[in-house]
């Protein structure tokens, strides 16, 4: 069994256990959902996209409870069946940025998976659809540990990769 598969299986098993204690949040659209990781050291706060945003994008903030450090997040979804791609950035420059500048401020990039109440892994719901019970951001924690957000003036607690729904913004 490969290490990657074993890690994914462990994440799914942990997600199943966490779902038993997950609060019920009725009919919350994905773009208003709030998630917390199991230690409650970080949350994902989804935001309604501005009118100028692409139809298949959802914005969010990652907020670290320890000291209020915030990271900017974006999930892009294209055609049906394509995996949603998430980007989480820390202190990116404003305005027009080069590819090198964007790469330097990107903390994490990867697929965003939804985990339902039975532990089934699928794609993150699109804007306007009911929010997922849990979200899996593979290798998010290690990416934070190796980013510019981590350190004496930033984050010192590495979050888990699984976030469970904890609320809905009204």
**pLDDT of the residue at 5:** 38
CA distances (Å), origin 1, targets 5, 113, 122, 139: 7, 22, 22, 19
Domain ranges of the chain: 3-168
Question: Contact at 8 Å (CB) between 127 and 29?
Answer: yes
By mean pLDDT, which of 35-44, 59-68, 73-82, 135-144 is the weakest?
Answer: 73-82
Cα of 51 vs its chain's centroid, Å: 22
Cβ neighbors of 131 (< 8 A, separation 6 or more) are 25, 28, 29, 30, 32, 33, 46, 125, 165, 168
By mean pLDDT, which of 39-43, 47-51, 87-91, 148-152 is the weakest?
Answer: 47-51
Q: Per residue in 61-86, pLDDT tens?
A: 999 998 889 999 999 887 666 789 99
- Output the pTM of the full model: 0.80
Q: Which residue has the tokens 């794609």?
A: 123
Question: Contact at 8 Å (CB) between 115 and 133?
Answer: yes
d(CA 61, CA 70): 6
Q: Per residue in 102-114, pLDDT tens?
A: 899 999 999 999 9
Of 65, 47, 30, 49, nearest to 159 by C-alpha is: 65
**pLDDT of the residue at 56:** 67
**Edge-to-edge strand list for the sheet holding 42-47:** 106-111, 85-89, 70-76, 57-64, 42-47, 33-37, 162-168, 134-136, 113-115, 121-123
Q: What is the mean pLDDT of the chain?
A: 83
Which token pair is 154? Answer: 């930033």
């Amino acid at each position: 069994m490969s290490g990657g598969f074993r890690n994914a299986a462990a994440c799914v098993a942990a997600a199943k256990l966490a779902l038993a204690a997950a609060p019920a949040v009725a009919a919350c659209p994905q773009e208003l959902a709030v998630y917390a990781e199991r230690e409650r050291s970080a949350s994902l706060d989804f935001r309604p996209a501005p009118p100028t945003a692409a139809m298949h994008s959802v914005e969010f903030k990652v907020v670290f409870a320890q000291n209020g450090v915030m990271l900017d997040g974006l999930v892009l979804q294209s055609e049906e069946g394509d995996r949603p791609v998430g980007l989480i950035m820390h202190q990116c420059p404003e305005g027009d940025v080069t590819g090198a500048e964007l790469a330097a401020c990107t903390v994490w990039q990867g697929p965003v998976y939804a985990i339902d109440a039975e532990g089934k892994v699928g794609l993150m719901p699109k804007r306007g659809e009911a929010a997922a019970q849990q979200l899996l951001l593979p290798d998010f924690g290690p990416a934070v540990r190796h980013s510019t957000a981590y350190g004496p003036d930033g984050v010192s607690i590495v979050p888990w990769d699984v976030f469970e729904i904890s609320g809905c913004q009204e």
